[in-house]
Amino acid sequence: MRALIVSYSFPPVGGAGVQRMVKLAKYLPSYGVSPSILTVANPSVPVSDVSLERDVPEGIEILRARTLEPSYRAKELAWRAAAKPSTGFGTRLRKRAVALGKGLLVPDPQVLWVPFAAKALHERLRDRDDHVVLISGPPFSQFLLAFVARRKPGTAVVLDYRDEWATTRTVYEMGGAARAGELLEGAVLRRADAVVTATDAFREELLRRFDFLAPDRVLAIPNGYDPDDFPQSMRKPPDDRFVLSYVGTVFKLTSARPLLEAVRRLHASEPELARLLEVRFIGRVVETEARAFEGMENYGVRRLKYMEHDRALEELCTSHAVLCMLDDAPGAERVYPAKIFELLYLGRPCLTIAPDGALASFAREHEMGPVVRPSDPEAIQRTLAGLLRAFREKREDAYAPPVSRERQRKIERFHRRRLTGEFAALFERAVSHARAPAPHFVPSSVAAK
């Protein structure tokens, strides 16, 4: 089988969203599927990570189409200007310009890539017979390429939701705000032979919003971990302080404000204990969230820049505990960050700050560590104090998650190789649906149940 993966996010682009597709390309050949890639030639993105390129299979065909987007720096400057509280004439003018751009660039700025990607996809399908075209978003503008792929008879179209389209419009810094996005979403979903979501909650919400979707053609395949990414030997955390580390972007959905407030409270109530705590934030902090970090270096909070994936994992290995955060934002109850699976495999205690929902349930089910709501900084403070007391008294068993056979079995469910097998099985059934449409479309993982 030949599969063409369409993804704006692909190495050398960095960030968590890249992992899902690059690991798919890495492991699909193990299931008899030959992947090719269509991605962007000049990505307008905040970070790059060339280390991720080592997962790209040798000899794989990669097609790159250019985009007319401005540089990410230019987009960031516009976004910062629009976020400023000033009411001056210049600021109002910039805000209106940004709002106009969001209204025109539907569903997101990456729509400026779509015409060139569409041309490349059309030429590709004209010259070669790919059995399946998998399109992964965000950005969700590339889902419009489903119209192009649908024109090739017998080629299956699979749409992969790494996040929710509707949620990105409200919580992502560059998300499009136009209501036309929902109409577009419905139109492209009608062109799909199968749809994949990253969580069961995404799947349920999609089926609720679009009642024309057949439930047996929408499958949840989560993100995961790859043991190859982790260092062979893990350095021990320091003995003189308790290190709590977060890796990822801090933005509206993953706001650090509740944790930072808890750290300040801890220093006010138990300064001697609080001095044992060092909190590391590794990755990008968007402008609107950066203000919350002002002066926090005095409380043991360190901001480190984005690191390549393997270096970031090394930093996590030298931590006593790790951190996963979601704020009380719309749709957050259906989200768990892709990083949670690497934190699960790493085995360090994980402090999960999240509203009731998918992430909180996942952390509890897999016994990852304490779970606290972001709306309760006092509870976060008490949890930090408990971790620090256990560290000071050398009671590691008081904060380390238990290791059991049952827990290990649950963890193995999320190995990237195994998850790729679910994609491969789905491809087979999507191709059958595309070539001989029938009402009986049952993914193997559903049939097994």
Q: What's 325's DSSP letter?
A: E
Q: Are residues 398 and 426 in the same domain?
A: no
Domain-located, residue 344: yes
Q: What is the per-residue pLDDT for 297?
A: 97
Domain range for 442 is 2-71+107-224+416-448
Tokens of 316: 């996590």
Q: Are residues 272 and 180 in the same domain?
A: no
The tally of domains found in the chain comes to 2
Q: Give the residues of the chain that fall short of pLDDT 50.
A: 100, 173-178, 440-441, 444, 446-449
What distance in Å separates the CA atoms of residue 24 and residue 204, rounded to the nearest whole number?
Answer: 24
pLDDT tens digit string along 225-276? 999 999 988 788 999 999 999 999 999 999 999 999 999 999 999 999 999 9
Residue ranges of the alpha helices (H) in 84-219? 89-104, 114-127, 146-150, 165-171, 180-189, 200-209
Q: What is the per-residue pLDDT for 440?
A: 44
Q: What is the per-residue pLDDT for 77?
A: 66
Domain-located, residue 291: yes
Question: Sheet of 321-325: strands edge to edge?
Answer: 301-304, 277-282, 242-247, 321-325, 350-353, 371-372
The size of the chain, in residues, is 449
pTM: 0.88
Q: What is the per-residue pLDDT for 178?
A: 45
Domain of 258, CATH number, reads 3.40.50.2000
Domain-located, residue 85: no
Q: Are residues 342 and 427 in the same domain?
A: no
Domain-located, residue 82: no
Contacts of 123 (CB under 8 A, 6+ apart): none
Tokens of 308: 């390549």
Q: Are residues 433 and 298 in the same domain?
A: no
Q: Are residues 39 and 119 in the same domain?
A: yes
